[in-house]
Structure 1
Amino acid sequence: MAAALIYFWMNLTPSVAASEQAPADFEVKRAKPLVCKVGAYITSLHDLNPSTGSFRADLWVWTLCPPVGGYEALKHIEFPGANSFELHNYWHVVKDGSSWSLVKIAGEFRARWDMRSFPFDRHRLVIALESEEDAFAIRYTLDKSDNLQSLDAIPAGWKIESSKMAVRRIEYQTAFGDPALIEQQSSAYDRVEVIIDVARDEYSSFLKMTGPVYVIATSALMIFIVALESASILLSRLSLLGASLFSDVINMQKGTSELGAQDIFTLNDAIHILGLLLIITLIEITVYTWKVNATRESLPTLTGERRWVFTAVVLYIACNLALLIEAGISG
């Protein structure tokens, strides 16, 4: 019996000791994270869509890690800013002392589109790759190359102003249940960001969007060619000016929808509002002129009316030019 107890004790002791040493071994492992180089090459940017707050991209991503335990970094990444993505042509090989992984990524990514200065708008598109393992286990550095994107990676109507990569340490205010982090209640992960600064390189869409405003304004001004000499002319003017107001509002709503800018004030909105102010001013001039005629004041009606209209037009043109210049500078 004593021999059995001694045998049981001798077999139990190593397992207990091992279990007590496990956390220490675990901490040593976490104190020496695996450091991997990450590189990227963008082959295509397309479907840049401010109305949906997204864009699509195709790019190659590779990692170079120490050949430890057959670790393949690209099998342990996620894309925090992706609506959807697919991985193609995955490749892994240990070569020249590095565990090299390569994959092509095609996905739709979210972006914050600032359309306030459209068509002089510039945007920063970011494709983020984050490790599934925290910074105690794996860390990223950049494998810098001369070119980050193909020369024809951007669609017509846009241009790439700059592109770069960066590594950020992202902190989450939770330990995700990790026993080693339970006291500090936070965790950190390395994130690689592929950053592309793009700018609009066409103005035809802006002309299509705002052109009707200037047509409406010109049509409203043409009705002042005929002097306000009768009630029928008054009614005709007010009817045409009212229709001009309605057309301006409808065109502004259409432009806002196309830009996906319902919650911000854009250059397109400002130009349409100037058009509304011009038409409202023309209505006030018409009503005032009719009152002048009705009271038979000595002011020459036709001359006075045209002077007021001319002043309103000059202010309208000046304000439009100021808006365009300001948007071009701030964009």
Structure 2
Amino acid sequence: MKFVVRHLLVFLLTVSTSAFAAGEKAQPEQIKLGAFVTSLHNINADKGTFSADFWVWTLSSQHAKYKMNDSLEINYSSSEFPRIFSNQNTEILNQKITLQQKKVQSVFLHDFNLEKFPFDTQNLQISFEDGLLNSSLLEYQPDNTSGFDSAISIDGWKIKSVNLRKDLKTYDSNFGNFTAPSKESYSRLVLDILIERDAPFIFFKLTMGLFLAVFVALCSCFMPTISEDIFSGRMGLLGGTLLAVVVNQQFVDAKQGDTTAVTLIDMLHMLGMLTIMILLILTSISRFLSQKESISFSSVKLDRVSFITMTSFFIGFSLLIVSGAL
């Protein structure tokens, strides 16, 4: 009986030890990764790119076989420009932690959202992912010492925050390895660089021509249409202001960059065009009324109502559009 009990205990101990070892083996290797941005420049909405210089480092167990240069992938970089690595270094800290670090200089891709231009913010992203081991074998942990150099100065922009966060990237492919699952997940860290436009007077620079053109168009309501010469001059004036708005729109397009989105400035210009078009119609109606003495509602009264109504219309909707962006 004792013999049976003894062998049963040995069997249970062996099974529990094997299960514990399997559980330990199932845990992915933990690698701490950090990044520190030292320069941010050439933010180009036309090309959808920005340039960044930063340090990236990893901290791993001294006995780990992880090699940053062999497996770490830095995503979203543009293929048109070379990626430069410098100051690569490896050292042992406290005789137990391996520090691997290098400096990276590259041009990265970004899909600029210009709907609220020029009051827009952009979340520039750089991701770090392992190119060899999936999430079951390796997991990145963000280093809380990551950040950016507060001395960085960007023309027209300012950095609000830099944050390194965990992410998991799943690919709907096993990349040719038919023995692996049809989907593969890889540990990823994403460096979010949140910037906002720092040009308080650019809004007035881009819209000054628009507002002046609409103001002149509104003032045309004080030109009586009873005279054919004045009526012709008034219609020509409105046509000129409409052309001025179109030209100003082209100037803005050159400044804000090529985008398929309807931006704040685009909406204001469309509002200005609509206002002038309505004024053109009201001017024609005013001319018609000036020729009809039998109609009690005079052209002068229509012009006054038109000025008050269209001024309120343009200012009201302009404030609504701008406040929505802010």
TM over 0.5: yes
- Structure 1 residue runs without a partner (length 5+): 1-26
Runs of 4 or more off by more than 4 Å in structure 1?
27-33
Q: Is the counterpart of residue 270 in structure 1 residue 256 in structure 2?
A: no
1:127-276 equivalences in 2 (<5 Å) = 127-135=126-134, 136-145=136-145, 148-178=147-177, 180-181=179-180, 184-260=181-257, 262-276=259-273
1:283 aligns with 2:280: yes
**Conservation of the 8 A alpha-carbon contact between 1:173 and 1:187:** yes
**Contact map agreement 1:46 1:55 (CA 8 A) in 2:** yes
CA distance, structure 1, for counterparts of residue 119 and residue 285 of structure 2: 40
Out of 45, 53, 69, the residue aligned to residue 50 of structure 1 is: 45
1:174 and 1:304, CA in 2 relative to 1: closer, same or farther beyond 3 A?
closer
Counterpart code for 1:237: R
Counterpart-to-counterpart distance in 1, 2:196 and 2:171: 33
Q: CA deviation at 1:322?
A: 1.4
Q: Quick one: which amino acid aligns to residue 264 of structure 2?
A: L
Give me the whole-angstrom Cα distance separating, in 2, the residues matched to 1:68 and 1:160.
39
Using the size of structure 1 for normalisation, the TM-score is: 0.82
Is 1:37 the counterpart of 2:35 in the alignment?
no
Amino acid at match of 2:312: V
Task: State the 1:179 CA deviation.
Answer: 5.1
- What is the CA deviation profile of residues 18-56 of structure 1, one whole-angstrom value per residue up to 9, with x for unaligned ones? xxxxxxxxx999856432210111112222222222222
Residue equivalent to 1:79: 74
Shift of 1:279: 0.5
Q: Distance in 1 between matches of 2:233 and 2:313?
A: 25
Distance 1:268 1:323 in 2: 9
Cα RMSD, aligned residues only = 2.4
Query: Would you say the 8 A contact 1:115–1:261 is kept in 2?
Result: no
2:11 aligns with none
Which amino acid in 2 is paired with 1:186?
K
Opposite residue 259 of structure 1, the aligned amino acid is: Q
Partner secondary structure for residue 307 of structure 1: helix
Cα deviation for residue 214 of structure 1 reads 0.5
Gaps of 5+ in 2: 1-21
How far 1:305 moved relative to its partner?
1.1
The answer for the alignment partner of 1:318 in structure 2 is: 316
TM-score, normalised relative to structure 2: 0.83
1:165 Cα shift? Answer: 0.8
Q: Alpha-carbon deviation of 1:217? A: 0.9
Preserved contact between residue 224 and residue 231 of structure 2 (Cα < 8 Å): no
* Amino acid in the other structure paired with 2:247: I
- Alpha-carbon displacement from aligned partner over 1:218-255 (angstroms, at most 9, x marks no partner): 22233333322322222222222122222212322442
**Cα gap change, 1:28/1:300 in structure 2, threshold over 3 Å: closer, same or farther?**
closer
Residue 289 of structure 1: CA displacement? 0.8
Give the partner amino acid of 1:122: T
Whole-Å separation in 2 of the counterparts to 1:292 and 1:144: 74
- Residues 97-112 of structure 1: matches in 2 within 5 Å? 97-112=96-111
CA drift of 1:154 comes to 4.5
Question: Residue 30 of structure 1 contacts residue 137 of structure 1 at CA under 8 Å; is this kept in 2?
Answer: no
Aligned-residue offset at 1:271: 0.6
- The percent of aligned pairs where both chains have the same amino acid is 26
Secondary structure, counterpart of 2:46 in structure 1:
coil
Give the deviation of 1:293 after TM superposition. Answer: 1.3
| Structure 1 residues 58 and 246: alpha-carbon distance in aligned structure 2, compared to 1, 3 A threshold | same
Write the letter of the residue equivalent to 1:211: M
> What is the aligned partner in structure 2 of residue 89 from structure 1?
87
